Structure 1
Amino acid sequence: MPKPLSTPQLSLLLAAIISLTPFSIDAYLPALSQISRDLGTDLHHLELTVSSFFIGYAFGSLVGGPLSDHKGRRLVAGIGLLCFMVASLAITMCESFESLLLLRFLQAASGGVTTVVVPAIVRDRFPRQQAAQVMSTIAFIMMAAPLVAPIVGSAILATWGWRPIFLFLAVYGLALYLLTRAFMPESRPNGEPPSAFSLKKTLSVYRFVLSHRQARPFLLIIVCSNAIFFSYLTQAAYLLYEYMGVTELQFPMVFSGFVVCLMIANRCNAFLLRTHDSLQILRWGLMAALIVASALLVAALFTGPGSLWVMGFVLLLISSLGFVNSNSQVNFLHFFGENSGTAASAMRASQMLVGASAGALVSALYNGTPVPLACVMLFMAGCAFVSMRKAGIAVDCEGGVVSP
């Protein structure tokens, strides 16, 4: 029987699990140039492995959630971590671009199976208001990964080459597996025993989740806020290198500054949750995002390259997401008790699909100015705000869990 964890300890473990994704992406990016030379392929071609990772992650998320509803969170997380470790070890022996592409897909799918149980576990164990605080804490801890991962990847790359980066990821996966086996309790509602997996039942639950009238506005808020962040990531290199003229040495410091501001916003959100309802904070965050996105478009239209106004508004907009993400996710999952794993899968897959589409749209509209980015961000902020306005009284603070 796993040893019981306090809420801070459980938050730390869940944050370490969900950090698999940023570590798998950001520790690998510094090595792309060396991998392209080693495998004899061009860098642009090799960037397909990043796309395959996102596709694999979305696929794994869709599979992992329903499995965890039927077989248990702890079991599915353990299997996902073992598969992640095996895929990472296999990548260290890659000799071709094709094998790397396939193994990155499998590594990401394993990571998706594992990490999708995190919001489901939070939903299982905590009431709505406390769940929002826990999710905010997890997000705060997890955001250290994009700061640390490139440094770790670059250090390993400079010392031993690119293959040991994936050996490091395999060791990280093994450590998480051992911690999960030792400390993660099963959290499925009422301690229900594992049940048989049914594709028909799973598709029925997905249909129920996506068509739920009261939960749907929160799902739209989640995907729109994620699309804002993906749009920023897509244009980060342009904004910093070309628009602001920062150097390669300055880039990681400025980029990290945005992450730090988002971390601070998450901590402020956790503090506000002690005295304010998560729905109220969510409304504040969405209103701030809409106002700042509008100001960003005005600044993009009427200022020139290197405008601190544009960068300042982008920074404020990204920071406002710290008051939106955790609160919208918790309120969405609140409607789904025994099906919270499947709901988390739908949420993660939708985030990836819409986020990637928004990033691709910004790239397609690129005209050498930040105007297309500002337009897409304002559109997404507007959709999220309208969705919140239409949500009405969507959550009963005393409960109100429903199932098909």
Structure 2
Amino acid sequence: MSASNTSTPLPTQSVTLLPLISLLAAIVAITPLAIDLYLPAMLLIAKQLGTSMASVQNTLSIYLAGYALGMLVFGPLADMFGRRRLVLIGLTGFVVCCLLLPLQTSIEGFMALRAVQAFLGSAATVVVPGTIRQFYGKNTAKGMSYVSMIMMFAPMLAPTIGSLILVFGNWQWMFYLLAIYGGALIFFAGRYLPEMQNTTKNSSVNQFLKNYYVVLGDRQSRKHILSSMLAAFAFFCYLTAIPGVYLDVYQTSEFLFSFLFALNVLALMLAQFINTRLVGRKGSPWILTRAIVLGVLFAALLVLVNWIQTPLFYTVLTLLPLMSCLSLIAVSADSLILIRFGQQTGTATAVIGTAKFGIGSLAGPILALFATNTAIPFTVLMLCAVIIIALLQLPSLLTNADN
């Protein structure tokens, strides 16, 4: 089955791209902010709600699962009913949940609201890749890299902002801050986000299902979907395991942990900056090929330095380029998927997002099965993920090796 390559004409004359990209990045940032902002307060939340730390940590997996389910539902709706309306609905629901979360007195209520918050918040973020694709066309990878570069300030700053809030107030103010942020986005999106034309004229249930059939039935895109999913799995393995690895295994201070965490975010941002410089001349397939080869190399080195128990410096030295490679793999694969679907960009985004966050929600339980109080489990899982990506992309690796 072949994907549709028809696309709506790009209304670039009426929209300045830099403010639009900044707005889209700010919208996407609600997800890392909602995930990372309350990490320093997990122990306090557990005490106030009378539950265990493990239960509060599970709210992270619940958020990822709710987000994945929401993308599955709202992606095709964006194709059928337009994007701007969906952004406003999603942001409004996200803000309401932010205002209700501080009022919860039980972990069950907190978990339920986190799931709803993620589900509704996905309605706002699912439209972003499709909007980028509509404005950037064949340069979608460059637009997505710009958004990623700006958006990555959120996970870099969120834990620090959360810690500062705890110094001057309580954990409830973290969600009030998110509500204020979401309210500002509603204002700017309502005023400045252009209303995109519906990419499908039929809004029936049959069209909803047909969009998924078109995307999932495209053989060329399936390997890119799986590659993006596995890159996300490796990233979530890192995100889940790295606090314990740095703070417990290597006995770092909280300050050094925050510095190293920010350093990895900077590595991701640098990778996206490099992508914006190269993708126009070399193309996403060329970048994807080299990111996979280097990813396998650095993942293998990461396992090796931890297997022979070298100092922390060598783990950091191998982890930084590996995270950059994973970032390039994900954005290149995502771009190649979106370029193939001119009329089903929302559905394609939903498939990508559901695959990423769905498998991301499994990273914690899988790591728990192999917990050894060392860094070996998460490094081996990351290596396995990039090796499988290399096997999936092997024909392309061989084709593009000499280009």
2:92 corresponds to 1:85: no
AA matched with 1:67: L
1:33 corresponds to which residue? Answer: 43
Q: State which drifts further: 273-282 or 75-84.
A: 273-282
Kept in 2: contact 1:89–1:167 (CA 8 A): yes
Kept in 1: contact 2:141–2:279 (CA 8 A): yes
Q: How many residues get paired?
A: 389
Q: Which residues of structure 2 form unaligned runs of 5+? A: 1-12
1:342-361 correspondence runs (5 A): 342-361=347-366
User: Secondary structure, in 3 states, of the residue corresponding to 2:281?
Assistant: coil
Post-superposition shift, 1:189? 6.0
Question: Which of 279, 282, 286 does residue 292 from structure 2 map onto?
Answer: 286
User: Secondary structure, in 3 states, of the residue corresponding to 1:275?
Assistant: helix
2:204 corresponds to 1:211: no
1:399 corresponds to which residue? Answer: none
Q: TM-score, normalised by structure 1?
A: 0.90
1:401 corresponds to which residue? Answer: none
Q: State which drifts further: 63-72 or 89-98.
A: 89-98
Q: TM-score, normalised by structure 2?
A: 0.90
Tell me, in whole angstroms, the C-alpha distance in 1 between the residues paired with 2:338 and 2:70.
19
Note closer, same or farther for the CA distance 1:360–1:67 as it changes in structure 2 (3 Å cut): same
Deviations 1:195-225 (A, max 9, x none): 5341x43233223322310111111110111
Tell me, in whole angstroms, the C-alpha distance in 2 between the residues paired with 1:170 and 1:307.
38
Question: Which of 140, 148, 154 does residue 139 from structure 1 map onto?
Answer: 148
2:238 corresponds to 1:232: yes
Q: State which drifts further: 270-279 or 37-46.
A: 37-46
1:158 corresponds to which residue? Answer: 167
AA matched with 1:155: L
Note closer, same or farther for the CA distance 1:366–1:33 as it changes in structure 2 (3 Å cut): closer
Question: Which of 124, 127, 130 does residue 114 from structure 1 map onto?
Answer: 124
Note closer, same or farther for the CA distance 1:300–1:160 as it changes in structure 2 (3 Å cut): closer
Note closer, same or farther for the CA distance 1:358–1:157 as it changes in structure 2 (3 Å cut): closer
Tell me, in whole angstroms, the C-alpha distance in 1 between the residues paired with 2:282 and 2:97.
44
Tell me, in whole angstroms, the C-alpha distance in 1 between the residues paired with 2:285 and 2:32.
28
Tell me, in whole angstroms, the C-alpha distance in 2 between the residues paired with 1:234 and 1:91.
23
1:388 corresponds to which residue? Answer: 393
Deviations 1:222-274 (A, max 9, x none): 01111111111122023212332211222111111111111111111111124
Kept in 2: contact 1:88–1:107 (CA 8 A): yes
AA matched with 1:19: A
Deviations 1:142-199 (A, max 9, x none): 1100122122222223223122221111111111111111111123467x66x5341x
Post-superposition shift, 1:60? 1.1
1:398 corresponds to which residue? Answer: none
Question: Which of 49, 70, 86 does residue 76 from structure 1 map onto?
Answer: 86
Deviations 1:27-50 (A, max 9, x none): 112222222232222322222322
Kept in 2: contact 1:214–1:391 (CA 8 A): no
Deviations 1:352-402 (A, max 9, x none): 1223334432332222333332322121111112222235899xxxxxxxx
- Taking only aligned residues, the RMSD between alpha carbons, in angstroms, comes to 2.3
2:56 corresponds to which residue? Answer: 46
2:325 corresponds to which residue? Answer: 320
2:189 corresponds to which residue? Answer: 180
1:222-261 correspondence runs (5 A): 222-261=228-267
Tell me, in whole angstroms, the C-alpha distance in 1 between the residues paired with 2:353 and 2:197.
19
1:85-104 correspondence runs (5 A): 85-104=95-114
Tell me, in whole angstroms, the C-alpha distance in 1 between the residues paired with 2:171 and 2:379.
36
Q: State which drifts further: 275-284 or 31-40.
A: 31-40
Post-superposition shift, 1:299? 2.7
Kept in 1: contact 2:65–2:361 (CA 8 A): no
Q: Which residues of structure 1 form unaligned runs of 5+? A: 395-404
AA matched with 2:143: V
AA matched with 1:196: S
Tell me, in whole angstroms, the C-alpha distance in 2 between the residues paired with 1:149 and 1:295.
30
Note closer, same or farther for the CA distance 1:176–1:324 as it changes in structure 2 (3 Å cut): same
Note closer, same or farther for the CA distance 1:127–1:392 as it changes in structure 2 (3 Å cut): farther
Deviations 1:107-142 (A, max 9, x none): 1111111111111111222222x2111100111111
Tell me, in whole angstroms, the C-alpha distance in 2 between the residues paired with 1:31 and 1:294.
34
User: Secondary structure, in 3 states, of the residue corresponding to 2:340?
Assistant: coil
Kept in 1: contact 2:75–2:350 (CA 8 A): yes
2:206 corresponds to 1:196: no
Tell me, in whole angstroms, the C-alpha distance in 1 between the residues paired with 2:253 and 2:299.
27
Kept in 2: contact 1:124–1:188 (CA 8 A): no
Kept in 2: contact 1:282–1:323 (CA 8 A): yes
1:402 corresponds to which residue? Answer: none
User: Secondary structure, in 3 states, of the residue corresponding to 1:92?
Assistant: helix
Post-superposition shift, 1:94? 1.9
1:397 corresponds to which residue? Answer: none
2:10 corresponds to which residue? Answer: none
Post-superposition shift, 1:65? 0.6
Specify which structure has the bigger relative contact order, considering alpha-carbon pairs within 8 angstroms and separated by 6 or more residues.
2
